[in-house]
Each structure stands twice: as structure tokens, then as C-alpha cells.
Structure 1
Amino acid sequence: MSPELLPAIAAFARVAHHASFTRAAEELGVSPSALSQTMRTLERRLGVRLLDRTTRRVGVTELGQQLLKGAQPALAALAQAVEGIDEARDKPAGLLRLNVSRTSAELLLFPHMGDFAAAYPGITLELVCDNRLVELVEGGFDAGIRLGESLAQDVIAVPIGGPLRMVTCAAPRYLAGRKLPQTPDDLREHQCLNYRLTTGGLYRWEYAQDGRVLDIEVAGPLISNDGEVLLAAARDGAGIATTFEGSVRADLESGRLVPLLQPWWPTFPGFYLYHPSSAQIPRKLRVFIDFLQARHAPPPVSQRAVKLASLPRSRRPSPARRAK
């Protein structure tokens, strides 16, 4: 990368990130017109069009994407070098970008963001909630949070929150006048709310009892790739839902939802914060990991960071849970 072009390329990366001159200009502390002129000058110097501009949006051309992919590692390295100055002063600071599933954000992060912001005012968290699994380095992320089974084996994975249970439940309104399911097979006689996986298939509901494991294909009036949509429908009496226990604990305690098939609820290892294998972890990420582990203290045996490859396959969640 030509050194004199570095400021303009860094500005281009922010325009591409926000898909907006206005928002990028606000972040950079310049006017939108000045930023637009910088982009035109950069395009003229490179002899290619980097951005597609319309009155409604700003898009990145194919050559622009190619430039971004090549420039991002260098920009990230420069950002880390600058943040190292703050770390040398023992002040965790900088932008911490995390790619997380929606459910992991709701269960692990949302209840504690205020406390983290108060404890570390120099750190800006950027949470990208996406059920698709992305490559961290290419996406410009410092870390991600996912169920362990879905992660590549060349990352460092730190357990957060301990084991999880998948529960089955329904509203009293739905259950009124209906025979309660006694076994998972009975769900075929009920209206069930289906989850669409990122792979395109439907999640097969999983159960376990006394060494017996079942995957049940269910049907019903609603399919969604958003768990909150399905839970809203369940609370309204549309059908039976399956979800993480933490997502409906208050509903079960209040009676808004009724637990079903409790002897069959499976328990499995939960979420992991993962980051690329590296000898040097930024201080901003180290303090975030420590903060989360303190808030979601798992059993002592799960406290240490591990290579994902060392997780016993018998304890990993099944592939059906990858998008959760």
C-alpha cells in the first residue's frame, strides 16, 4: 500500500463499513463533501471506481472489495499499534468488534453492557449480530461468540456461561383443551414453531433421556430464522416452541409459558468466545474476556482457554445447533 494513499484508503474503509458518507464523515470528524472529494481523488489516483453512489445508498464495487480485502490486514495492524500505546499506559482502549449470534448476545451480553461501559470507558464495543458464521480476520473482527461445535479448529475458544439446556414450552392458551405431549414423538400431533437454519434446512428438535437421543421433525403454522419471532408467537398461543432455557426462564417462572417434556430436555456445552490464534491478545479483548467470565462464571474445569480441537466430540453440540 502506497504510504501517501493510506489516509484516503482508511477513509474509504469507513465509508464502505457504514455504506454512508454522512455516517463515515461523522466518525472521521470531517464534512461529507470533504470526504466525498477524498474518495474521488483516491479513485482518480488508482484509476478505478471504488464506490457505486446513488441518492439512497453507497455500495462498494468489485474492485473496491478487492482493495478492502487487501488493505484491511494492514489497517488492523496499524490500529493495533496505536492501541498498543494505550495498553502501554495500562488503559484498555479502542474499538472492539465482535461478531455474535443474536441469541448469544441476548443471553450473555445485553444484561451487562452498562457495567462494562462504566468499567472501561475507553473501549467502544461494536456488536454485529449475525447468525451466519463469518471469518473473523476477513470481516475485521477481534472476536466472535458462537456455540463451540460450529467453530473452526484453528481458533482459540474460551467457554462463556457454562452448559445450556434446550427446553420445550407452550402458552396456556395453546394447551387449553389439548392433550399434553408425553414423549417427543407426540409433538407430531401438535402445532410446532419451526426454526430455519442458516443452511436453509429446518432445525430438528433434539431430545435425550437415559442414553436415548432423538431428533424430531415437526410441523406447524410458523417458520422463522429469528428465535424472538418464534417466542413471541409461542407466548401468543400459536404453538409449541423449543429454545434455550435462559431465553424463557422468566416466562416459565411466571406461568406465561408452560414447560413440556422436561425429562427429555438435553444439556450440552454452551457458548464460546473465540478469536484467531495469536500469541498477542489485545488488552481490550483480554479485559472483555475476563469481564464476561466473571459475570458468567462456569464450573472451574471450564475456566481455561482451550484449542477447540481438544473438546471431546461426544460433548459437542450436534450440527443442527450451528446457527443458534
Structure 2
Amino acid sequence: MNDVQAFIAVAREKSFTKAAVILGVSPSALSHTIKNLEERLGVRLLARTTRNVAPTEAGERLMQSVAPLLDQINTEVKRISELRDKPAGNVRITCSDDAAEGLIRPKLPEFLKKYPDIIVEICIDYSFTNIVTERFDAGIRLGESISKDMIAVRIGPDWRQAVVGTPEYFQRYPIPVMPQELALHRCINIRHNPVGSIYAWEFEKDGHKMNIRVNGQLLSNSIIHVMNGALDGIGLAYVPESMAKPHIESGQLIEVLADWSPIFEGFHLYYPNKRNKSPAFSAFVDSIKYNDGN
């Protein structure tokens, strides 16, 4: 049965390398396991090329008939283990680095201390990851971006962006008073998805909205590196106000265009409405949900 589970992992991931990581074995050992299984059954289960791995007709039949049964067994075993005195298990979350830094990190030490048998895995990703197909327990996004078929739990307050730069930067460049003037400045861009477009800075004042595409020498997919670029004097950054606030108060950064920065709906943790919540996942949600501004 362990060999069959190994086969299912490879068939699902379509990769010996990815499946080996999930199973905690080496790719060569996994390949040997599958080869032995095929020899015992007398049929080829996987078609291998230098680039791809895919189930054969026999492999597809085995996967469709056996995989649901093994999934059910694993689910039932997991439910039995959850009857322990304290919640236990893994919680996998996908989110952006600013959400992880500002919303999860402050509450994580106390949570992990309280629940020593829970393992939290945080995967940093700015793209719109499918949490079902990628087998995450939940994701974190702005409330306005969450599909209506998901359950959403608010974990942070409404927030705004801030355009910031160092005092030294503004000694060389004039302070902008209108968003259009950013065309004259060196700005630090962010591209949330490696194959997506560069984020256009959003502004709003007195009901008038505009998106401004800016230019500069630095581009990142991480808001933390955008923030660091501003602190290093490379250019202007458009970052969450909460992230910039300590640096503004210390005098390291100066905020401009504050009257043009719109308010965004706060971050929410979301998960499928048909999901059976484990005690470990429920405990995690309770620990990070937003209550009365806390």
C-alpha cells in the first residue's frame, strides 16, 4: 500500500522530484519504488520522458479506483488523531509577504506555544493561487478579491497605501503634489505574478480615481524588497501605511500624496465552504481573526 501511495503522489504531481519532496524521500528511491511496483503488477503505470511523467492507461485506472479510497482512509485516520486533548496537525496557508509579516507573524509565537502539536506552513505567493488544487488549507487576500463561493474571515482592518521616499531622495527630486507628477520620479515597481503585468499605482481623491504606471530601475514581486529599496534611496515606493509608519516616524522616510491614497478593504483568510475544518485549522483561524481592532 505504501508503494501504491507513492505511485499516486507521482501521478498527481506529474514529477518524481515534487512527489519525493511531499513523501520525504529521494527521487532515486521513489523511482526504484515505482519500478518495483510495476514489476510486481506486470504493467507499466507511468510513461516517462526527459521532461514529463504521466500515468499510462493502466496507471490512470489504478489512480481513479484506488486514490479516492486512500484519501478517505487518510481523512478518517486524521479525524481520529484529532480526538486528542489538544489540536494537532498541519495548517498550510498561502499569502503575500506583507500579510504574513503584519498579520500572522505577531500572533504566531503565542499560537505555536499554546499548540505544540500544530505545524504551520506559510507559502509566500502574490498570485491568485487555487487553494483547492494546490492543497492549501486557506489563503489570505483583500476582501474585495475573494470569490463568493469561499468562506471569508476578516483578519485585519481596512488600510491604505503610502507613497514614501527618503529625505535624501527629495533633496534631489521635487515633492509631487499630483499623482501625474510621479512620471518625473524614479519609482520602485512591483509585479505580483511573474507572468503578469506591473502593478499600476491606484489613487483617489474627491471621487476621482486614477491608475498611474510609474518607471524606475528596481522591480520586485515582494513588497518587503520594495520597502527596502525606498529605505536605500533607490526611489519612491508605494507600500502599506502600516509598514512605512515606523520609518516615517523615525524620519527615515517622508510620505507624499497622502490625500490621494485610497482606503482598501482589509485582509481576509478564506477557504472552501465545503471544507471540513479540523480542530488545528479552527484554532489557527480563531487566533488570527480580527476582533474590535485587535
Bucket of the pairwise TM-score, normalised by the shorter protein: 0.7 to 0.9
Asked if structure 2 preserves the Cα contact closer than 8 Å seen for 1:97 and 1:141, the reply is: yes
Query: Which residue does the alignment assign to 1:297?
Result: 291
Q: Superposition pairs for residues 59-98 of structure 1, below 5 Å?
A: 61-63=53-55, 76-98=71-93
Q: Quote how far apart the aligned CAs of 1:63 are.
A: 3.0
- Post-superposition Cα deviations, 1:172-191, rounded to whole Å, max 9, x if no partner, equal 12111432111212212211
Amino acid aligned to 1:111:
P
Query: Which residue does the alignment assign to 1:124?
Result: 119
- Post-superposition Cα deviations, 1:191-234, rounded to whole Å, max 9, x if no partner, equal 11111242621211112222222222222222222222222221
Query: 2:214 aligned with 1:246, yes or no?
Result: no
- Post-superposition Cα deviations, 1:122-178, rounded to whole Å, max 9, x if no partner, equal 111122212222222211111111122332221111111121111110011211143
Amino acid aligned to 1:49:
L
Q: Name the CA distance, whole Å, in 2 between partners of 1:283 and 1:262.
A: 43
Asked if structure 1 preserves the Cα contact closer than 8 Å seen for 2:9 and 2:19, the reply is: no
Asked if structure 2 preserves the Cα contact closer than 8 Å seen for 1:231 and 1:241, the reply is: yes
Query: 2:176 aligned with 1:181, yes or no?
Result: yes
Asked if structure 2 preserves the Cα contact closer than 8 Å seen for 1:165 and 1:267, the reply is: yes
Q: Name the CA distance, whole Å, in 1 between partners of 2:219 and 2:292.
A: 33
- Structure 1 33/118 Cα, relative in aligned 2: closer, same or farther at 3 Å? same
Q: Name the CA distance, whole Å, in 2 between partners of 1:37 and 1:279.
A: 35
Query: 2:41 aligned with 1:42, yes or no?
Result: no
Q: Quote how far apart the aligned CAs of 1:9 are.
A: 4.0
Query: Which residue does the alignment assign to 2:97?
Result: 102
Q: Quote how far apart the aligned CAs of 1:94 are.
A: 1.1
Q: Quote how far apart the aligned CAs of 1:250 are.
A: 2.0
> Secondary structure at the residue paired with 2:122?
strand
- Post-superposition Cα deviations, 1:61-117, rounded to whole Å, max 9, x if no partner, equal 133997999687665544332221233334211121222222221221223322221
Query: 2:204 aligned with 1:204, yes or no?
Result: no
Query: 2:107 aligned with 1:112, yes or no?
Result: yes
- Structure 1 11/158 Cα, relative in aligned 2: closer, same or farther at 3 Å? same
- TM-score w.r.t. structure 2 length? 0.82
Query: Which residue does the alignment assign to 2:262?
Result: 266
Query: Which residue does the alignment assign to 1:313?
Result: none
Q: Percent identity?
A: 33
> Secondary structure at the residue paired with 1:83?
helix
Amino acid aligned to 1:102:
D
- Structure 1 77/174 Cα, relative in aligned 2: closer, same or farther at 3 Å? farther
Asked if structure 1 preserves the Cα contact closer than 8 Å seen for 2:3 and 2:37, the reply is: yes
> Secondary structure at the residue paired with 2:133?
helix
- Post-superposition Cα deviations, 1:19-66, rounded to whole Å, max 9, x if no partner, equal 37588446xxxx98765542322344451337779xxxxx86133997
Q: Quote how far apart the aligned CAs of 1:283 are.
A: 1.4
Amino acid aligned to 2:93:
L
Asked if structure 2 preserves the Cα contact closer than 8 Å seen for 1:15 and 1:24, the reply is: no
Pick aligned residue for 1:161 from 156, 162, 165: 156
Asked if structure 2 preserves the Cα contact closer than 8 Å seen for 1:169 and 1:240, the reply is: yes
